[in-house]
A and B are shown apart, each in its own frame.
Chain A
Amino acid sequence: MTDAKNSEQPILKAEHLGITFGGLKAVSDFNMTIRKGELIGLIGPNGAGKTTVFNLLTGVYKPTEGDFWLDGQHMNGKKTYQVVRAGIARTFQNIRLFKQLTVEQNVLVAFDESFSYHMGGAIFRTPRFWKQENEMHAKAMDLLKIFDLDGLASTQAANLPYGQQRKLEIARALATGMKLLLLDEPAAGMNPTETEDLLRCINTIRDRFGIAILLIEHDMSLVMSVCQRIQVLDYGRTIASGTPEEIANNPQVISAYLGADDSDDAEADSTDHATPEPSIAKTMQEGAR
């Protein structure tokens, strides 16, 4: 599953990562390697443990087994803000913005780490305070421009339309200055135009910032068209991983999505399966092209 040609250190390496909630194995033996500039898809049926993986990688949950490294740095047991400062940022399935703050302030909050003035600077309004506030304002506007949000900088975040809230959340994640971006169903609830717009954004930011992206998404055509590699989860376990073409033709994946009774059986005999439901297989294959 790895491209041997790339020998440089991976951005993210997860080995046998897993978590148990009161006897229930939500995720087990999760392995993943992400290199710089890669866009990886994480898919699976509802409740397969995709968001739990995100929560593990961002320190919301502490893994009960396995380890993960960011740029070679061991990240187990780190608090969320430490993980974020080390370089993993995320968006949420149900949008979580700072609703009463303006669009610009949402971004500025994520820049917080780049500020170096302290309480004294804030209270006495030192030159350093003004210099940094102005610099960060300019940086925030640059970032918002990428998402066409610069015109809305002083709008309250809660008043943005849905699609723009999604974009703002991504902009805010980018502002943390991360190396790995985790996107949790960014296209959920979007219409086709908005999805296309989002797609363009994702590609732009990957090229421009040279970061790695891990994407959870149910919109198969989106996943198939942008991801270089895809990993499929079912019942917390990885059942397949590979290129979009491989995944689209993997009978186990298809049966997992269709809910065949032996879907979680790793030794499921692929030839026994009847022809997969045309619609899903078709979307997958079309997207893969």
Chain B
Amino acid sequence: MTDQIIMFISQLFSGLKIGSVYALVALGYTMVYGIIRLINFAHGDFIMVGAYVLMLTIPAIVAAGLPAWVAIVPAVLVCVAVGIIVEKAAYKPVREKGNSMTALITAIAMSLLLENGAQAIFGADFQTVPTIFHLPSIAFGKLKLPGDTLLTIVLGLIIMIGLQLFVKFTKQGKAMRAVSEDKEAAVLMGINVNSTIALTFAIGSGLAAVASLMYCAAYPQVSPMMGAMLGLKAFVAAVLGGIGSIPGAMIGGIAIGLVESLTKAYIGTITGGVITSAFSDAIVFAILIVVLLVKPSGIMGKNEGEKV
């Protein structure tokens, strides 16, 4: 293998590494958007909350002789609690009184609240999270695929399949699909819409906690603003995959991760220096714009027009 190919493949791997985290986050976005048609801006910040919980609990857990990843338990609990509180205290009252714009503004406000709340408590600086996994890298000749990347992808796939099965076959999953299709009709069918939405938030927030574990395993630092860009990119991933589609979120997440990593590595060479790696964030948004304009339903989504 020439060095160039090795370089290319290792870039692919680093794309997979961040892409698998995007995929986990995008799953949460897509579930919430699917059911209440709201971009939950605060979703990225749930990851930040999870990361801080990990940072605080891992030392105690390690001291108790347990493996560090057990910290996922308090992280999930806290994230689910935060998710449900956000839904019950802010989104639900606004949804009942306002329109889609007020709901979106509320979501932005909740995001600001979490970010600035964390900043007030922990300060604005980056803090380090203790090592979570001690997984060996898997070597392919000269190439090394980090074990946690592989784990993230496998975990993502398992969660995706699990969610898909849950939504397709369980009673609560069917209720979710019904609520996302038509809230009024769902009420008439005896579905408790509010608890179904709360359940969706709980699952989404729980996924955010898992995502924070995998994120911190790969990039062991936390800061109050860490969720903002991560959340936006994951949202782009969810849109690319087709909002509301569970496999779509997975595909979109991986795709965005790969695009980001490959543009960082190659865009300068390809464009002869006109566009450089500093544009990688802009390129992610450019993808969003192109998808929204060309095929707003994304790769796996369904077309929805307003009925006249």
Residues of A within 8 A of B (CB): 51, 55, 60, 92
Q: Mark B283-308, 1 if CB is under 8 A from A, else 0.
A: 00000000000000000000000001
A237–B308 Cα distance when bound, in Å, is: 20
Which label, helix, strand, loop or mixed, suits the secondary structure of the B interface?
loop
Q: How many residues of B contact A (CB 8 A)?
A: 1
User: How far is B306's CA from A55's CA once the two chains are assembled, in angstroms?
Assistant: 12
A-B residue pairs in contact (CB < 8 Å), sample of 4 = A51-B308, A55-B308, A60-B308, A92-B308
Summed over the interface, the residue pairs from A and B with CB atoms below 8 Å come to a total of 4
A172, chain B: closest CB distance, angstroms: 16
| A55 partner residues in chain B, CB cutoff 8 A | 308
Name the distance in Å between B301's Cβ and chain A's nearest Cβ.
15
Which residues in B have their C-beta under 8 angstroms from that of A51? 308
Tell me the chain B residues, 54-90 only, with Cβ under 8 Å from chain A.
none
Nearest B residue to A184 via CB reads B308
Closest chain B residue, CB of each to CB of A80: B308
Bound form: Cα–Cα A51–B308 in Å: 8
* In the complex, chain A residues whose CB is within 8 Å of the CB of B308: 51, 55, 60, 92
Min distance, Cβ B240 to any Cβ of chain A, angstroms: 23
Alpha-carbon distance A40/B308, docked complex (angstroms): 22
Complex CA gap A60/B308 in Å reads 8
Rounded to whole angstroms, the CA-CA distance of A34 and B308 in the bound complex is: 24
Which chain B residues lie closer than 8 Å to A60 at the CB level?
A: 308
Closest-CB distance, B233 to chain A (whole angstroms):
32
A55's nearest neighbour on chain B, judged by CB, is B308
Shortest beta-carbon distance from A84 to chain B in Å: 14
Question: Which B residues lie within 8 Å of A92 (CB)?
Answer: 308
Q: How far is the CB of B8 from chain A (nearest CB, A)?
A: 40
Instruction: Give Cα A60 to B305, complex, Å.
Output: 11
A55 to B308 Cα, complex, angstroms: 8
Residue of A nearest to B306 (CB): A60
Chain B nearest Cβ from A118, distance in angstroms? 30
CB distance from A56 to the nearest CB of B (A): 11
The smallest C-beta distance from B97 to any residue of chain A, in angstroms, reads 15
* B303, chain A: closest CB distance, angstroms: 9
The A-contacting residues of B in range 251-308, CB under 8 angstroms, are 308
Q: Min CB distance, A100 to chain B, in Å?
A: 12
